[in-house]
Structure formats: C-alpha cells, structure tokens
Chains A and B, each alone.
Chain A
Amino acid sequence: MRENMYEKLGLKVGFEIHQELDTHKLFCNCPSVLYDVEPALKVKRRLRPTQSELGEVDRAALAEAIKGKGFRYQVTDNVCLVELDCEPPHPVNEEALDIALEVALLLNAKPVDEIHVMRKTIIDGSNTSGFQRTMLIATEGYLETKKGMARIQTICLEEDAARKVGEDAEFIDYRLDRLGIPLVEIATGPDFTDPQTPAEVALMVGQLMRATSKVKRGIGTIRQDINVSIRDGARQEIKGVQELALIPAVIEREVRRQLALLGVSDELKKRGATEVAREIVDVSKIFSGTRCKVIASVLARRGVVLAVKLPKFAGLVGGELQPGRRFGTELADYAKVYGGVGGIFHTDELPGYGISVGEVEKLRGVLRASPGDAVVIVAAGKESAEKALGAVVVRANQALLAVPEETRRALPDGNTEFMRPLPGAARMYVETDIPPMVIDEKRLEQIRKRLPEPLEQRRKRYVEEYGLSRELAERMSLSENLGLFEELVRKHAVEPTLVATTLEETLVGLKREGVAVDNIQKAVFDEIFSLIAKGELAKEAVPDVLREVAGGIGVQDAVQRLGLGRITEAELSKMVSEVVRENWELVKKRGVGALQPLMGVLMGKVRGRVDGKLVHQLLERELRKFEFRTETS
C-alpha cells in the first residue's frame, strides 16, 4: 500500500556511495590517516569563482563567493605541498586505480578505455585548489538484488575533501588530513521508487566493496548521498547519511517536506501572494528595552535588529514541514548560511523568547503588516543581518513557485537542512597536470584474475568445506579479518570454526571487556594456532592468552604466566588415577555415573592445558576399569 503511495507521488531515488580506499593519498604519497589534535601550522587562503564562458559564474560558486569567507587550513603531519595546492599533483596512485577498477568489475561495469582526470569546481573551501579532482572509471554496471537488477550508472575515483572543523565570522576552518584520500564513488540511476530498496542495495554495494579487503572501515569511511525527487517537487541531493538504517527515514521525511512545501506554494497562490520585496527595515529601537536575551546581547554589542515583511505568509512560516522543522526553519537555514547569523525570529512564533506582545505590535506597526502577513527579524551585526534577511527574501520567493533544488545535509533524526543550492551541471574541466591513462586489457585481465570470490559462493564454501555454521559463515564472509581467516586456516591444521570464532567472537568479547585487542598483531594468531595444531595449547586457553598478549607480552610468555604448559597424556593419566582414588567412595557408589562430577574436578585442574575430550576419554576408560571390577567381584 505504502509503496504504491510513493509510486503515485512519482518518487525517484538514486544514491551515491563514497568509500575511502585503504591506500595512500590519490595524488601524493601522504598516508591516509586522520588526526584528532589541532595542529599548530595553519594557512589562510581565499578562493574566487573563475569566469566561465559568457561571464557566468557557477550558481553554487556565486553563493559561496557572496558569503565571502576566507579559509583557514590546518596542516597536519600527513600533508605535503600537494594538499596545500603548492605543488602540482603527482601521477594517480596506481593501487587506488586498481582497487577502483576491481570494484567496477565486481559491479559488472565497463571500464572506460582511457581515463581523464577532471577538475570539478567546488569553492566552499573544502578543496584548497577550488576544485575536486575526479575521474570516470567505468559505466553501465549492475547489481543483482532480490528485487531485480539495480543499475549502477557510474564508478568514479576521486579525492576526498578537507574536513570542516570550525567557523568564525571571517574564516572557515578545515583540517587537511582527509584531503586527497582516495574515494570510490558509486552512483546508481534515479531508479528506486520506494524508500526501502535504496538502503538494501547500498548495503550490498558496501559489502561488495569490503570483500576486496582494500577499503577502509569504520565511521566516516563510507558515506551515502541520496538524490530524492517527487513529481512537481525538485531534486535534492542529501549529503552525509552515515548510517544505512537512516536512509528510508531520510527519504520518507524528504517526501513529506516536499509535499508540505507544495502545500505552502498552493496556499500562497490561493491567498494571492505576490513577490516579496527586499525592503529591510531597522527596528532596533523597538527592542531597546527588550527582555529577549538574544536581542539584548546583540544590541549591547552594537548590533542591529532588522526586519522584513513576508506578505500573506502568516501561519505558513510556523507550519511544520518535517517533524520539528517548520518553514521558518528553512528560512533560518538560509539566514545562517548566507548571513552567518545564529537564527531568525518570525511572527508565527511571537510573542515568545522574551519578546513581548507590545514589541510584536510595534513591529507590525512599523512594517505596516496586516494580520495575514508574517514578519521575520534578525538580530546581528548590520552587514550579516542584511545578508541574512536578503537570503530569507530569496527563500520566501522560491516558496511562491515550488520546491527549490538544493544540496541538503542529513541530520541524525532523518531530517535534512539546507547547505547550498544544487550545483549547476557543467562545471568540470580537464586536469592539465595529469596526462590521460590508457586502461588496457592486460591490466584488466590481471585484476580479473584476483577478483574476490562472490559473497554467496564464499559462504557456501565456508559451510561445506570448513564446516562453519551458516551464521558464522555469513559473519566471516563480511569480516575485515577475512584475509587473516583464510590464511590461518590454510596454514594450520586446526578447526576452521575455532579460527572463525576466535576472530569474530572472542575478539569482540575481549574488546567489550575493555581489552586493547587492536594491539594484537597478526603474527600472534599464527603463533597461537600453531601451538594448538601441535597440541601444545588447548583451545580453551585462547581467550586468556589473547588477554595477556594485548597487555604487551609475547605468546610464549603469556602461556608461561598463565601456567598453561601443556600436560602430556602420561601426566594426565596419572592425574586421572589420583582423582579416582581420592573420590573412591563416589566411584564405588556410582561407577561410570561418576563421570560428570569427576570431569568437573579434573577440568578445574587442567583447563586450558589439555583438550577436554582427552580428559573425558581417559576418565571414562579409568572408570570403566572399576565398573568391570565391581561387576566381577
């Protein structure tokens, strides 16, 4: 039913996935790592929109230029002159290119014959150069899903942008550590017509990329952008959806927002609203004795209160578009982005926030606002307040028409907020510093040869060959320890299930306890499983050994410290005889029935130093001896 509803609304959804690759940066040799500490070295820069043909500057570029802020770049240790736009880019990181081609082949896409690096103009400062370098790797891919074929339009390889870490009145702060990290961008067609399927396909694409074992994992290393539109609405690019689970909510709420905005537009037409004039009035005097703390503090700092009238908007500004977000919130987004102000007040929510009935009446009087009109006010420095209200007027006028095309930022609850207008289509030109790269059949053949096994096939193999449970096989097939698992199973004659549970369950359990499992090196597992294979360590001891090793000692030392020296079969037989003798009364009374209680006693003594099965076997044999005796005596 619901899906049918979305189809009726003409919902069209596509998405782009950006996945960081696990290799050094794309156009220089800096490592792809992030820093949590603010570095000392900072470089201030400015960007100017370049003139394009016919003197037009790009729409989005112009918006950024109007904001007129400079950029303060934080130079971390993994930054060289390339990221600082002080040295031409080096040739493309060949490993990154191979990974991108590998992903393309896994998605059944057709690699292009010759790759050209492009400059995509972006002047929000997130790229020191003013453009992002990107290249089209392959087209026309597809992915088989339970609901049919999902079209993968393009696979691109591009450089990640710098991280925005702060902003003040003059500068936006960016940390350069992330700039240049290679990203694979996978874009689907705008083919999805319901809110659920995109998330399912995105999950599959993510799993498929992780199967290459050459992509980064963890928060922020994979990001989804979603394109959403409905009939009569407009295309929105929603950035930064970090959790797949949030995708359906984001889509549902965006549909809701667009429907509400269409409602606003209809209502304004019905009321006969005409274009809002940019008549900004200084109303500071009205608030000279205000109890509104925000306004009072702005005025105390010699700021102003400016107001603008939105004729026939009364009641609409306070109308809800998404849960907790009103049309007024959209106006406030524009005011924040273009004016750098903290927010706005509007008459649909006034009196309130310390603003009195009297002040609202005076405000309406000065602006000659009739009860059907709304008034928006901004308290800030004069220039900021003017820019903010100018942007409010622009947004209000868009509401008369319909839904504006925007780039929006996903919020944690599934709502979205305005970031900037949707960039115009054509703002790419060629990166002249890097010659084109021919992709020949030989290179593709080599990549094809080492493509990871398809997921389903791998899971089947784990169940059939390795005897893993279906559930464990599924977990293992998606694990980042996949390569290590295969290697350990190949090298050591141990139960694959033991290896898999160690890597997937024991480690997780230890981590939960607070054990620093990240300190455990790959070689440790090699050593442990080698000891187990030789019968020198019992599998029960694995968690204890790992716990000790994570504390910073070697495997042998851990075994020593835990008193886990292996017990030989002869020693064990001796211990079994002793236990039987010590518990003679019980054995006499219960015969083989004493097996369970005595197992408990013995295991308490030898756990981790000998295989439980062997204990069971020897004890049973010993008890049977006495059983025979009791029968014959």
Chain B
Amino acid sequence: MFGYQGKALKTLRSISAKVGDRLRIEKAGQIHEGILMPRTELGDPNHLVIKLNSGYNIGVRLTRGAKVSKVGVGRVPKMGLPPPEFKPDPSKPSVSILGTGGTIASRVDYRTGAVYPAFTAKELYAAVPELVGLANIRTAPVCNVFSENMTPELWIKIARAAARELNSRARGVVIAHGTDTMGYTAAALSFALKNLSGPVVLVGSQRSSDRPSSDAALNLLSAVSVASKSDIAEVCVVMHGSAEDDFCLIHRGAKVRKCHTSRRDTFQTVNDLPIGMVRGGEITTLGGYNRAKGGRVRVDARFDPMVALVKVCPGMKPKVVDSLLNSGYRGIVLEGTGLGHTPEYLFPAIKRAVKRGTAVVMTSQCLWGRVDMKVYSTGRDLLQLGVIPGEDMLPEVAWVKLMYALGQTKNPKKVSELMRKNLAGEITPRTRPDVFPKPAFTPTHSQARK
C-alpha cells in the first residue's frame, strides 16, 4: 500500500490506517503527530512517513515499543479543480492534445504533498490559463507510459490518433510526450503520417510541471501556438530554445535529437536549421517546410521491429553482428566511427549479413556531419560489401527509417533505395556550415571574496 511493506505495512493494517489519515506515534518519550504520507519504493520497511503540521515530512522508525494510533481520518483529496468558465469560441482554431504519459501540467496538493497531473482540457486551462486565448482545446489520451517504455506499436497508435484528429476537427495536433524518446517518436510519426493537413507537434518538459520553474508551460503554449496558427504541415518538436524562458525552437521531427541529460534546451536540430522559433506566441520560420496540399491525412505505419542499432567501437567482436543475424534481425544500423567506418575484422560478419539479405546501414557516431565512405579504403570496402550509406541521418532516425522501410518491402534493392531517398526531411542535400554548436564559455578572472 502506497509503497509500504513489511513491518510498516503490518502496523498500518493493524490500525486500518490509510495515507492521508492523521497518526500519532509515541516512542521513547517523544510524540510525533502528522498525516501519513506515501512511502517511496526505495524506502526501507521500518519507517512511517508523516507530514508534521509545519509541513515537513519525517520518517519515524518503528522501534520496539513504538505505539502508533490513528487520531484522525484523512479527507479524500479533491481532484477536481473549480473549472474556470469557458465556452468554445468558434472564431478560435481547434487543437487536439494527445496524451501519451508525459505530464505537461500538474498541480500540487500541499496537504499531502502529492502531485496530480492535469490533463483534461479543463485542467489544462486551469493550470495554464493563457491557453484560453489561443485555441479550443480537446484532449484525448492515447497511452500512459513513461517515454523510455515507448514501443513501435504505440507509435502506430499515436499516428492513427493524430490522423483521426486532423481528419475530423483539429487544425493541429499537440502530443505530450516524455523527452527521453521523443526524438524516436517524432521520427516514426514523420515517416508514418502522409499528406499532413496541419502541424503535429510533440512537446514535453525537462523540469517537471509541478515546479514554479518548469519549462512545461512555455513549451505547451508555444506548441499550441504552432498547432493553432502555423501553416507547417510537418511533424515537429517544440521545446525551449535556450537556457532562458525566452523562446522555443520548432525542430523537424526527423532531424531532432535530445542532446543533454537535463538542460531545458536539450533538443537540437542536427545538421540543419530548425524549422522556426516561437517567441511570445509569435512564430518566425527559419527555413523551408511543407505546407498542406489538401486531402485526407493518411497513415502508413508498418514498422519491422527486427532492426538493431549498433554502435561500433574498437575491438568489437564480430559475434555482435553474427548473434543479431542468428536472432533473426532483418536490419542493422551501424553507428560507425568518423566518416562511417568499422574495424576491418568486422568485414566478414557484415558480408555474411548482406549475403543473407539483411540491410546494413551506416551512420556516424559523430552525429554532426555526413558519412562519406569513399574517402578511405575502409569505407570503399564497406560499400563494396553492400553497406548502405546513411548520408547525414541521425543514427536513431536511420534506425526508425529502416524499420519503416522493411515494413514497406523486404526487397533489399528497394530497401536500399528507400534508405538513400529523403522521405521526411531526414536527409539534407547540403551540409550547412552554421549549425554545429560550440560551448559558450568565456574565460573569467573574477576573484571570490574570502
């Protein structure tokens, strides 16, 4: 119950206490009184966590002789917010927000310290009132998983839900998504959604929405701005563009990557300009993008799950490749070194793979730049072996694309053609000189005061 196990759980059961109830714990001449709180899963079974009147939580050890009694029954926290009065405004565009498990708004019950996600349209309006002026919002949950547990099956579900919304009522779609695998989902949707009628915007937050400093509100407002106002008919990611709460960048779904474990501006468009930026709800575009051509949005969502992404490293054993082949993998994306290389002692294994009809695609672990397998003999040898060069595709985007390609056809020649062709902006024809990020430090000589 609420993370309690063993001794603590037994004690709570014996007095039929629940989280939220008021407990009194007497031991060694000390009396602790407070509201029973949930226990974290990592906690031991020997402590009860209570919130004191001061607001502080403490854990009280259940030592021999400790007397626990229930002195008050907790009221059930009210989940409902008083809904702000709002009526759909026919002059405003409709935006559908799809939930996948990431929270973009939440509120805190300070009595218990619990954080509740806000997801219904009403809750979102209450948490981020500025949304009211932007669009008529409809929300629909698609799934409820942490982003690291996302699967290709769920990509398909999300793609279908997005198409359904665009084909029925929505001008644009916003997808709330955890940031860890947002780039993968964005790439998958980029390949799966055809003939888009409006923006499909993935959004998330790096600092959870229960904090006053959360990036969620600005990200959500910017995403809804893009979904409701822009004529971008592409899958994109809208997240903070800098460490400040200033603007968001609109990244192309097939060109974006999470580049930092914790910063707000973690998402970057790699090897290309972002589509644009949003500042104060105003959208500025930076490069070209697709506009709606009319007609219904189609979903072409077949992904072959038997594709592996393998990072090449020195001394790597050919067994890695062979074991994939033996396990029935039909595609391998290599994250090669430099311009797209592997050690030569992998060549026989790669040769075996290609011979068996397994697609082998080369990308670079440098992430920035384009693979070029004609410069050195190693590259030329790999091309000779039948390795498909991945141009300037991100390794994980090439991986999603290969799943998509193998979903289309099993014909190695056709797979190779699809992989070399730009389908959704994942390959750029020219490598821009101005999109390689550098650290922004300056040498300082300031002296600390003693």
Using a CB–CB cutoff of 8 Å, the interface residues on chain A facing chain B are 31, 33-37, 39-41, 43-55, 58, 61, 70, 76-78, 81, 84-88, 110, 112-116, 118-121, 123, 128-131, 134-136, 140, 154, 156, 177, 425-430, 435-436, 438, 518
CB distance from A161 to the nearest CB of B (A): 14
CB distance from B61 to the nearest CB of A (A): 4
Interface stretch, picked from B37-45, B271-279, B323-331, is B37-45
Q: CB distance B58 to A427 under 8 Å?
A: no
* B244 located at the interface, meaning its Cβ lies under 8 Å from any Cβ of chain A in the complex: yes
List of 10 A-B pairs having minimum Cβ-Cβ separation, nearest first: A114-B59, A130-B212, A51-B107, A428-B55, A33-B448, A429-B113, A113-B61, A116-B57, A136-B56, A53-B109
Given contacts A46-B245, A438-B59, 13 further A-B contacts (CB under 8 A): A33-B448, A34-B449, A45-B213, A48-B212, A85-B213, A113-B59, A118-B113, A130-B211, A156-B56, A428-B55, A428-B56, A428-B110, A429-B113
* 0/1 string, B256-274, CB within 8 A of A gives 1: 0000011110000000000
Q: How many of chain B's residues touch chain A, expressed as a range? A: 35 or more
State the CA gap A134–B217 with chains docked (Å). Answer: 26
Chain B residues near A113 (CB, 8 Å)?
47, 58-61
Supposing A55-B82, A116-B49 touch, asked if A436 and B55 sit within 8 A by C-beta, the answer is no
* B127 located at the interface, meaning its Cβ lies under 8 Å from any Cβ of chain A in the complex: yes
Chain B residues near A37 (CB, 8 Å)?
446-447
Max count, chain A CB within 10 A of own CB: residue among B126, B209, B262: B262
Supposing A51-B107, A114-B47, A116-B49 touch, asked if A425 and B42 sit within 8 A by C-beta, the answer is no
How many residue pairs bridge A and B at CB < 8 Å?
A: 179
* 0/1 string, B69-112, CB within 8 A of A gives 1: 00000000110011000000000000000000000001111110
Supposing A85-B207, A135-B56, A154-B54 touch, asked if A426 and B61 sit within 8 A by C-beta, the answer is no
Q: CB distance B59 to A33 under 8 Å?
A: no
Q: CB distance A52 to B213 under 8 Å?
A: no
Q: CB distance B444 to A40 under 8 Å?
A: yes
Q: CB distance B47 to A438 under 8 Å?
A: yes
State the CA gap A119–B51 with chains docked (Å). Answer: 13
CB distance from A41 to the nearest CB of B (A): 7
Chain A residues near B218 (CB, 8 Å)?
46
Chain B residues near A70 (CB, 8 Å)?
245
Chain B residues near A50 (CB, 8 Å)?
106-108, 209-212, 214
State the CA gap A135–B55 with chains docked (Å). Answer: 10
26 A-B pairs (CB sep. < 8 Å): A33-B449, A35-B446, A36-B449, A37-B446, A43-B243, A44-B245, A46-B245, A49-B212, A50-B107, A52-B108, A54-B78, A55-B82, A85-B213, A86-B206, A112-B60, A113-B60, A114-B43, A114-B47, A114-B49, A118-B56, A121-B110, A130-B213, A131-B211, A136-B52, A136-B58, A438-B44
Chain A residue with the shortest CB-CB distance to B114: A429
Q: CB distance A55 to B446 under 8 Å?
A: no
Q: CB distance B262 to A81 under 8 Å?
A: yes
CB distance from B187 to the nearest CB of A (A): 26
Q: CB distance A426 to B55 under 8 Å?
A: yes
Q: CB distance A51 to B212 under 8 Å?
A: no
Chain A residues near B47 (CB, 8 Å)?
113-114, 436, 438
Chain A residues near B212 (CB, 8 Å)?
47-50, 61, 121, 123, 129-131
* Cβ 8 A contact of A35, one of B107, B127, B449: B449
* B442 located at the interface, meaning its Cβ lies under 8 Å from any Cβ of chain A in the complex: yes
Chain A residue with the shortest CB-CB distance to B44: A438
Residues of chain B in range 134-152 having any CB-CB distance to chain A below 8 Å: none
Chain B residue with the shortest CB-CB distance to A435: B42
Q: CB distance A88 to B262 under 8 Å?
A: yes
State the CA gap A568–B137 with chains docked (Å). Answer: 97
Q: CB distance B450 to A518 under 8 Å?
A: yes
Chain A residues near B40 (CB, 8 Å)?
435-436
Chain A residues near B442 (CB, 8 Å)?
40-41
* Cβ 8 A contact of B58, one of A52, A112, A177: A112
Chain A residues near B58 (CB, 8 Å)?
112-116, 136
Chain A residues near B44 (CB, 8 Å)?
438
Chain B residues near A119 (CB, 8 Å)?
211
* B246 located at the interface, meaning its Cβ lies under 8 Å from any Cβ of chain A in the complex: yes
State the CA gap A425–B211 with chains docked (Å). Answer: 18
* B115 located at the interface, meaning its Cβ lies under 8 Å from any Cβ of chain A in the complex: yes
State the CA gap A348–B261 with chains docked (Å). Answer: 60
Q: CB distance B246 to A430 under 8 Å?
A: no
CB distance from B245 to the nearest CB of A (A): 5
Q: CB distance B262 to A78 under 8 Å?
A: no
